Amino acid sequence: MSPFNLHPDRLFPADPGTRAIARALYEQVANLPIISPHGHTDPAWFADDQPWSNPTELLLAPDHYLFRMLYSQGIDLDALGVPRRGGVQPDTDPRAAWRLFASHWKLFRGTPSSMWLSHVLSSVFGIMIALDETSADHVFDLIGDALATPAFRPRALFERFNIELLATTEGAADDLAHHKAIRASGWKGNVVTTYRPDSVIDPEHDSFARDIERFAALTGENVESWQGYLCAHRRRRADFRAMGATATDHGFATAQTANLSLRACEALFAKVMGGRADAEEAELFRAQMLTEMARMSLVDGMTMQIHPGATRNHNARLFASHGRDKGADIPRRTDYVEALRPMLDLVGNERDLKIILFTLDETSYTRELAPLAGHYPCLKLGPAWWFHDSPEGMRRFREMTTETAGFYNGVGFNDDTRAFLSIPARHDVARRIDCGFLARLVAEQRIADWEAAELAEELTVGLVRKAYGLEAPVREAQAA
């Protein structure tokens, strides 16, 4: 087995002068609390505070970054313990799955997964050994032993990670039971929800019919009428706000918006609910609903997040056998300039509205997103996302957006993860890359060192608090 250590200067620029500046900046922000306003951890973990079972179920089987790469090299998902459609667990020995993973660890060289998992093993579990086929069992046992101890239960790690706020994401048909349980438990960890109504908005979503029914049941509204349907959204947004939500999230294939007349909305809605909407009408309905969500945000103050651009479930065979979120979501060319226009015509000049735009299409950074966010008061730039949540991806994001949109139209970092244990690693990578970028600006005398220091703190905590309404008044509102 070979030793492994996280290098204290990892991810900083190689030039010694720039590196020294980066290191100094990083030291100022390294220990700031983690604010995670957008993620996909399971609130049940914090409600129940049960120990996790084993490294495979915790770290490998739910992480589509890991198993998609292994799959791309011909490794069977069953052999990795990845659940099949409907959550059916394959009959795989977790230790055998872990060994298979460890023996292919080299596939991740140069990827963010490698940095994140190394950080988890080293900083969270204190394992100073490189993962490979020779160490697989030893690492499996070390992690397994740790997970059985109280210090590795979800709440204990939450506290150890110095998390100021963690947002999960729930659908509009979710009863928020786990969030209620967290609150009822008296535990002080600040876990909040996020309103993600995709499955009751997208007529092509595979849970649409089922979730509309639950949506009706949860709200008591007549969701068969356009006005009742909108009221149901308003009610659920209030439910979510009561569970700490300050934001909504919308993830359709495109960023298309629309602003139809009331009569057109009613007619379209009737088609959608009657199951008679074709693909174009389904798209128009999603487009109209983005505008409706913006309108509701104007009233209730929730920050709106738009995450477009993924072609979901591209691999038909894998979708049939394993269902959603199995690493087969592929980005697509995404237009913002014409797509957002109907919504921006209505709310673009609102100063108190916050709409955060994300992209999987990096060509939109300089061409569309930075110019839009550098002009419209309501628009903010989400950080480098998903495939771009990586050292090179974050550098490109900063290089391609800062000159046009500045730093202050950004919103800080999102970890966007289901992998709770990797949250400190992900924030650490972002802090290091941001400090490295700022250091280069200082080294090239484009900003002063004291400006870089202010900016490092803004990028780490200031801008995220502002963008997600996490400053004092909102906290009081939550307390109320």
Q: Which is nearer to its own copies, 168 or 364 (CB)?
A: 364
Shortest Å, Cβ 112 to its own copies: 6
Q: Which is nearer to its own copies, 352 or 476 (CB)?
A: 352
Cβ atoms 215, 236 nearer than 8 A: yes
Amino acid at site 83? P
Shortest Å, Cβ 366 to its own copies: 6
Helix (H, G, I), strand (E, B) or coil at 171: strand
Q: Rounded to an integer, what distance in angstroms lies between the CA atom of residue 94 and that of residue 137?
A: 11
Q: CB count, 10 Å around CB of 430?
A: 23
Q: Which is nearer to its own copies, 215 or 407 (CB)?
A: 407
**Helix crossing, 279-300 with 262-273: angle to 10°?**
120
- Report strand pairing: 310-311 vs 330-331: antiparallel
Cβ atoms 58, 269 nearer than 8 A: no
Query: Distances from the Cα of 392 to the Cαs of 26, 272, 347, 365, 436, in angstroms?
Result: 18, 42, 34, 14, 12
Shortest Å, Cβ 440 to its own copies: 6
Q: Which is nearer to its own copies, 213 or 392 (CB)?
A: 392
Q: How many CA atoms lie within 13 A of 7 on its CB side?
A: 6
Q: What are phi and psi of 452, to 5 degrees?
A: -60, -40
Shortest Å, Cβ 45 to its own copies: 28
Q: Per the structure block, which two tokens stand in for 400?
A: 């391609």
Nearest to 430 by CA among 409, 410, 404, 451: 410
Q: Rounded to an integer, what distance in angstroms lies between the CA atom of residue 411 and that of residue 373?
A: 11
Shortest Å, Cβ 458 to its own copies: 9
Q: What are phi and psi of 191, to 5 degrees?
A: -105, 125
Q: Which is nearer to its own copies, 73 or 261 (CB)?
A: 73
Shortest Å, Cβ 53 to its own copies: 27
Q: Which is nearer to its own copies, 174 or 361 (CB)?
A: 361
Q: Which is nearer to its own copies, 56 or 113 (CB)?
A: 113
Shortest Å, Cβ 109 to its own copies: 5
Shortest Å, Cβ 277 to its own copies: 22
Amino acid at site 234? R
Q: Which is nearer to its own copies, 99 or 367 (CB)?
A: 367
Q: Which is nearer to its own copies, 192 or 379 (CB)?
A: 379
Shortest Å, Cβ 75 to its own copies: 9
Q: Rounded to an integer, what distance in angstroms lies between the CA atom of residue 232 and that of residue 219?
A: 6
Helix (H, G, I), strand (E, B) or coil at 13: coil
Is the torsion defined by CA of 403, 112, 247, 223 positive or negative? positive
Residues 6+ apart with CB under 8 A from 73: 104, 107
